[in-house]
Structure formats: C-alpha cells, structure tokens
Amino acid sequence: MYAVTGVDEQSRFQVLIDSNNNLDVSDEEPFESAAYSNMFNSPETGTIRLIQFERYLNRKVVKATSKLAIWRSADEIKISFPLYAQATFPESGERIAVVATNCANPNFINSVATVLTDSMMQRAKEPGKRVWTRGMSKEGEYLSINQETYKYAGVDLLRQVIRLKKMNRNDTLYSTQRGFLAPPFTAVEFTTQKPLSLSSLRGKYVLLDFWGTWCTPCRAEMPSLKRAYEQFDRSQVEFVGIVTNDTPEKLRQYLDQEKITWPQLHSDEADKIAEAYQVNSYPTTVLLDPQGKVVLTHISGQNLPQVLYQLTKSKN
C-alpha cells in the first residue's frame, strides 16, 4: 500500500492513501491526519481509513479490508492496523475478544485475547474510554472459561478461528499472569558467580527487574528501585536484576558506579529467562509473592515501596 504526503495551498499537511491498492492515488481524497502526540485521543474519523488488500483464505485469494490508523509526526506519518475480532466458544457461547498487538501487520501477529464481558463492551463504547490490552492473555498464556483453563495459541487466519488448548487440571502451570506460578529458573549470579534459583527465594516477596545499561528508562528507574530496596528487610523482600543485551564490562562498571547491591543475572541464562517471561519491552518488572506466584507486573519504582509496604504489612 502506498501513501503520499505533502502540503496544500493553505500550508496544511495532507495525506493520500492508496486505499484500494490499485497503484493510483488520483482516485483518492486527501485528508489531514491527527498529530502523533494525540494518537490516543484522536477522533476516529480524523485518523482511521479503510484499506483494501488481498489475502489467501481457504485455498483462494480473496479481497479483504482493514482499518488503517494514520498520525502525523513532524514531516512524516506513522501508521498502525488497529485489529480486533471476536470468536465464540462453542460449548458455552462465551465471546472471546482478540486484539493484535503488532500493529505493523494486518495479520494478528502477537495477538492477545480475553473473555469478553458486558462491562468491557460498555466501556469500549463510552467516549474517551478504552479497554487496555495489558491485562489480556498473550499467546502462550491462559484463559479461564467455564472453570477450565485454556492456553491461548493465537489466530489461525486460514480457518478463521482462534486456537485454544485445554489444560489438565493436575498440571502445574507457569505464567507471568497474575495468580500463576512464575516460570522457574536457575542461573549464575553475576557478582558472586554462585548459582541462584528462583525457588531459593521462596518465603520472600521478589521483584524481578528486566533491564540493561543501554536502556535509558531502565537507568531512570534505578534511583527509585534503590530507595525501595533499602526500605525493606532482606528476610521479607529481595530484588533480582535480569540483564540482557549487555556486556559484562558495562554491567560491572554500572553496578559499581551506582552502588547496586541486589543480585544480577547476565549472559545467555538471562536471555533465556527473558524469553520464558515473554519480555518484549524494557524495563519490565514482575513482583512475586512468597509462594512464587505473580502479584503484579510493570510496577514502577516510584510506586513499589507503597505496594511492598501493604503486602508485607498484611503478611505480618
């Protein structure tokens, strides 16, 4: 699909989208796109356009349409495909919503799913309100339907269905979803070079911090994490840093410079842990309870002391 940008006689930034994919924009109407800084509050009619394309379905090439969102950023445009679909669970008729999180591709790559409730539908219809995807189940995570647990395995576009795998009730399931046991690991601690296992930290609240010295937001969080770490006894709370895409030299220098004393995991072992926890943005934090179950994810260093205080207080 082609897009053309330019300035009209009134010096307004205009966009032309080849919405019917005929390699000709002379049959298209120019429009102004909303500013990128307002992408979450732009009225739909100002940023959304329907485009046509072809896809392979049931052994045939068929025509399809998709919404394309366009925003202006300086002298260029940014685009995304805000994809959403519904499926019906055959045994109970419950509706399952599927949302694409990789907005650069109209094929539900890296989608998330959730059981759709009436309150969610109502919220989605209210002006200025939205249903956030952060709490939904990623591919490989679990959905609870009719008191049974299913693993969400993504979308099968050829068959136009979503894939669910029913789990055995006797199986021990690991996930970064709230209430699930966190994926176990054993790795070598960077400073001491001694083995550290997640199971050895049972009995404490544990904050897993996925970060790197190359990550500016990660470094910005460190002062808050240090203050939080100093406020709690090690018998109650422990932090573990999981450092990826970094060199030993840079990590050692940063730890010494910032006087960071909690355990750190590094190298290929850390990469495997990040993969098991499906980390795709940094920093990512996962807070575990003393039984090793996930309490919260994506908690900021600024809010961490209050959360830990409430948790440790209730434990006592």
Amino acid 43: pLDDT: 45
Per-residue pLDDT at 34: 75
What are the distances in angstroms from CA 232 to CA 35, 38, 302? 44, 40, 15
Q: How many CA atoms lie within 13 A of 53 on its CB side?
A: 15
∠ CA(255), CA(257), CA(261), 5° rounding? 40
List 234's β-bridge partners, or say none.
Answer: none
Contact 88, 96 (CB under 8 A): yes
Q: Of the candidates 171, 117, 109, 105, which has an alpha carbon nearest to the alpha carbon of residue 139?
A: 109
Which residues, in sequence order, are CB contacts of 202 under 8 Å at separation 6+?
Answer: 290, 291, 292
CATH of 186-315, picked from 2.40.40.20, 3.40.50.2020, 3.40.30.10, 3.90.79.10, is 3.40.30.10
Query: Which secondary-structure segment (H or E) carries 312?
Result: helix 304-315
Residue 280's contacts (CB-CB under 8 Å, 6 or more residues apart) are none
Q: Which residues of the chain fall below pLDDT 50?
A: 42-46
Structure tokens given for 299: 């908690």
**Domain chopping of the chain, boundaries:** 3-80, 84-166, 186-315
Alpha carbons 61 and 105: distance in angstroms, whole number: 18
Burial 138-174 (b: 16+ CB within 10 A, else e): bbebbbebeeebbbbebbeeeeeebebeeeeeeeeeb
pLDDT at residue 316 in the model: 62
Q: What is the pLDDT of residue 44?
A: 46
Distances (CA, A) of 176 to 45, 199, 273, 276, 296: 37, 16, 12, 9, 9
> Helix 304-315 and helix 216-231: axis angle, to 10°?
30
pLDDT score recorded for residue 232: 96
Its sign, for the CA torsion 160, 162, 163, 167, is: negative
Burial class (CB in 10 A: 0-12, 13-18, 19+), 288: buried
Short-list 297, 293, 269, CA closest to 285:
297
Residue 145's identity, in one-letter code, is: I
